[in-house]
A = this chain, B = another copy of it.
Amino acid sequence: MERTRLISELWNAMDRRQWEELAAYFCDDAVVFWPSTNERFTVPEFIEVNRAYPGTWTIQIERLQQVDDLVVSVVKVALAEGRTSFHAVSFFEFRGDKIGTLYEYWGEDGDPPQWRINRSIGTRIS
């Protein structure tokens, strides 16, 4: 199957909280890195950390692109509670048909900092 299609399916499984489907997308010895918090996970740990993540959410894919053995995705994860949302940029490095390494960068969405609001540089888009 096309790799971007696989990653689209993976995010769909995350959105539906179908944890039992996730392991099949990864090599058994795959490693997941969250550099923003200096965390590293095995596949069972990665599934556990997602399962344990507080609250409920919906996931929208905003970008999905392939370069050779790499698929890059951008998703917006909106928590059901309140107005909190995150963007995650993920680099899925494939070994054959499965993910061997995943680097995932998370950032919380929010208003610009006060110094930027004061200076009115740029345009707010929503």
Docked-complex contact A122 and B36, CB < 8 angstroms:
no
Chain copies in complex: 2
Closest to A121 in B: B49
Docked-complex contact A36 and B105, CB < 8 angstroms:
no
Kindly list chain B residues whose C-beta atoms are within 8 Å of the C-beta of A121: 41, 45, 48-49, 52
Would you list which residues of chain A between 28 and 56 have a CB under 8 Å from chain B? 33, 35-42, 45-46, 48-49, 52, 54
Kindly list chain B residues whose C-beta atoms are within 8 Å of the C-beta of A38: 109, 124-126
Using CB atoms and an 8 Å cutoff, list the residues of chain A in contact with chain B. Answer: 33, 35-42, 45-46, 48-49, 52, 54, 62-63, 65-67, 70, 72, 74, 76, 87, 89, 91, 103, 105-112, 115-116, 119, 121-126
Known pairs A35-B109, A65-B67, A74-B103 / 6 extra A-B pairs, C-beta < 8 Å = A35-B76, A37-B109, A41-B122, A52-B116, A54-B115, A63-B103
